[in-house]
């Protein structure tokens, strides 16, 4: 009997589990990714070197391969293509083209949030520095490409002079698109992992985001998330507000089935200010693994099932420990290997680990995603115990260059910020 074919958009590391799950369900898996050797390619039956942002190429690949399903779990940018091609080919989709646009265009997203009366920072948007009318905004502010993902091109400006200096960097990252400038909200940053099942919204987990601030290429401050901590310690009234906001957002974006990732700031006054919403699972281990480890819920598997039209039920088996998903950074150089991790796993100081860089790959001097060489998950009975555990992990873990020199940046990590 011929196997059904699933086309997976994006060969990133988290999609290895997606490919494996689809193959376990009996699918022939075709991977679409423009890179020569994306991490998930060795696990797929076929790798097509096409861009996941090229609707025509994706549609043609789906036709040529006889794809019965098109899947993406952890990426933002392919979502509009995913929804568009599914609609063109008459394939079932839990995400409409309109919702996919609203969830990946930051201006459209903020418009939906405002219409739904969800608390969000004030903003302006424009195609050029001259068009950005920031007179009514209170500084400091954050600027970001409207169509960007992750932290690419995101800058922080304390005043108008600093903003004007840094906007060149932001517009360069926008690649001809608009830039959005919004007021900076001080407080605890949260990643809130949700799933909508049959129109009912469930908040699975709230994770604290811990960041390192650094000097960007244009002289202003940028930030990178070096770890998440779960579950976040929240008051009952915050939990209730979070649930209410999640329900309002799912309804406003027309989500009846699928994951929803919310980035919010909890202020000292108790406001829960929504920064962004995504119709996907987070790409790092904090989301795609910590959710399952903390709650016992197969988040990745459920997202795949919903895209395949398979039934999903919410069954939880919580782990009472405190979990952290940690990123380890290297200084500029050439990556050769990570050492010490096997012993840390054997001794129970690390639950799982993932290597992001390939042997021989150049490490960027800029503290960005390219300087992130490995990630790992740790768990302990308390925050104090976790801090001590991570201090030992970073003392024994190492990242080496081909000459055997350490390039691990031990000054960045949750053992300092917890």
Give the per-residue pLDDT at 219.
47
Give the domain extent around 150: 122-183
Residue 284 lies in a domain: yes
How does residue 337 score in pLDDT terms, banded at 50, 70 and 90?
Answer: very high
Lowest mean pLDDT among 28-37, 219-228, 229-238, 390-399: 219-228
Let me know whether 293 and 192 are in one domain.
Answer: yes
Residue 166 lies in a domain: yes
Let me know whether 251 and 350 are in one domain.
Answer: no
Instruction: Write the pLDDT tens digit of every residue in 46-87.
Output: 999 999 999 999 999 999 999 999 999 999 999 999 999 999
* 356 against 101, higher pLDDT: 101
Give the rounded percent of residues in the chain with a pLDDT score beyond 70: 95
pLDDT at 32 over 80: yes
Let me know whether 179 and 196 are in one domain.
Answer: no
Alpha helices in 67-191, H assignment, sequence order: 79-89, 97-102, 106-115, 160-174
Let me know whether 273 and 365 are in one domain.
Answer: no
**Residue 9 maps to which CATH number?**
3.40.50.20
Instruction: Write the pLDDT tens digit of every residue in 188-243.
Output: 999 999 999 999 999 999 999 998 876 655 445 556 789 999 999 999 999 999 99
Instruction: Write the pLDDT tens digit of every residue in 101-159.
Output: 999 999 999 999 999 999 999 999 999 999 999 999 999 999 999 987 766 788 889 99
Give the span between the Cα atoms of 32 and 224, in whole angstroms.
Answer: 28
Let me know whether 195 and 253 are in one domain.
Answer: yes
Give the per-residue pLDDT at 214.
66
Residue 178 lies in a domain: yes
Give the per-residue pLDDT at 215.
63
How does residue 13 score in pLDDT terms, banded at 50, 70 and 90?
Answer: confident
Q: Are 262 and 248 in contact (CB under 8 A)?
A: no
> Exposed/middle/buried for 250, CB within 10 Å: 0-12, 13-18, 19+?
buried
Give the span between the Cα atoms of 152 and 145, in whole angstroms.
Answer: 8
Instruction: Write the pLDDT tens digit of every residue in 239-256.
Output: 999 999 999 999 999 999
**Omega within 30 of 0 (cis) for the link into 227:** no
Interacting residues of 140 by C-beta distance below 8 A, sequence separation 6+: 156, 157, 158, 159, 183, 184
Q: Are 218 and 153 in contact (CB under 8 A)?
A: no
Residue 18 lies in a domain: yes
Under DSSP, is residue 149 helix (H, G, I), strand (E, B) or coil? coil
Q: Round the average pLDDT of the chain to a whole number and report it.
A: 93
Let me know whether 295 and 331 are in one domain.
Answer: no
Give the per-residue pLDDT at 218.
47
Let me know whether 299 and 333 are in one domain.
Answer: no
* 215 token code pair: 């000097």
**Residue 366 maps to which CATH number?**
3.90.600
Lowest mean pLDDT among 81-85, 335-339, 372-376: 372-376
Give the per-residue pLDDT at 150.
63
Let me know whether 358 and 377 are in one domain.
Answer: yes
**Residue 201 maps to which CATH number?**
3.30.470.20
**Residue 141 maps to which CATH number?**
3.30.1490.20
Let me know whether 74 and 22 are in one domain.
Answer: yes
Return the H-helix or E-strand segment holding 389: helix 383-396
Residue 317 lies in a domain: no
Let me know whether 282 and 195 are in one domain.
Answer: yes
Q: Work out how many domains the chain is built from and give that number.
A: 4
Average pLDDT on 88-96 reads 94
pLDDT at 97 over 80: yes
Let me know whether 68 and 172 are in one domain.
Answer: no
Q: Which phi and psi (to 5°) does residue 285 adopt?
A: -65, -20
Instruction: Write the pLDDT tens digit of every residue in 286-312.
Output: 677 899 999 999 999 999 999 999 999
């Amino acid at each position: 009997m011929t196997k059904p074919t699933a086309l997976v958009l994006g060969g990133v590391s988290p999609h290895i589990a997606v490919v494996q799950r689809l193959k376990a369900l009996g699918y022939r898996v075709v991977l679409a990714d423009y890179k020569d050797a994306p991490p998930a390619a060795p696990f797929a039956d076929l790798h097509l070197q096409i861009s996941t942002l090229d609707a025509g190429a994706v549609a043609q690949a789906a036709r040529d391969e006889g794809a019965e399903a098109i899947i993406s779990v952890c990426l933002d940018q392919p979502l509009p293509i995913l929804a568009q091609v599914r609609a063109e080919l008459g394939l079932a989709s839990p995400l409409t083209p309109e919702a996919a646009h609203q969830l990946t265009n930051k201006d459209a997203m903020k418009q939906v949030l405002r219409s739904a009366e969800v608390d969000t920072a004030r903003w302006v948007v424009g195609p050029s520095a001259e068009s950005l009318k920031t007179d009514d905004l209170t500084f400091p502010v954050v600027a970001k490409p409207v169509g960007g993902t992750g932290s690419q091109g995101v800058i922080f400006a304390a005043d108008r002079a600093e903003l004007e200096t840094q906007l060149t960097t932001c517009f360069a990252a926008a690649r001809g698109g608009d830039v959005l400038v919004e007021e900076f909200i001080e407080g605890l940053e949260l990643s809130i992992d949700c799933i909508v099942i049959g129109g009912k919204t469930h908040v699975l987990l709230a994770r604290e985001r811990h960041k390192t601030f650094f000097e960007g290429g244009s002289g202003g401050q940028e930030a990178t998330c070096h770890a998440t901590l779960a579950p976040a310690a929240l008051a009952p009234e915050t939990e209730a507000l979070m649930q209410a906001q999640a329900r309002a957002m799912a309804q406003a974006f027309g989500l009846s089935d699928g994951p929803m990732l919310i980035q919010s700031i909890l202020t000292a006054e108790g406001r829960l200010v929504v920064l962004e919403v995504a119709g996907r699972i987070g790409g790092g281990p904090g989301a795609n693994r910590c959710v399952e480890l903390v709650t016992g819920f197969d988040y990745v598997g459920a997202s795949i099932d919903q895209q395949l039209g398979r039934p999903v039920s919410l069954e939880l088996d919580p782990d009472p420990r405190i979990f952290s998903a940690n990123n380890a950074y290297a200084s500029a150089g050439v990556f050769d290997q990570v050492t010490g991790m096997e012993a840390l796993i054997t001794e129970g100081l690390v639950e799982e680990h993932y290597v992001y860089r390939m042997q021989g790959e150049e490490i960027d001097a800029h503290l960005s995603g390219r300087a992130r060489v490995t990630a790992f998950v740790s768990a302990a009975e308390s925050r104090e115990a976790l801090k001590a555990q991570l201090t030992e992990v970073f003392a024994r873990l190492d990242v080496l260059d081909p000459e055997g020199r350490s390039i691990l940046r031990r000054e960045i990590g949750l053992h300092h910020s917890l």
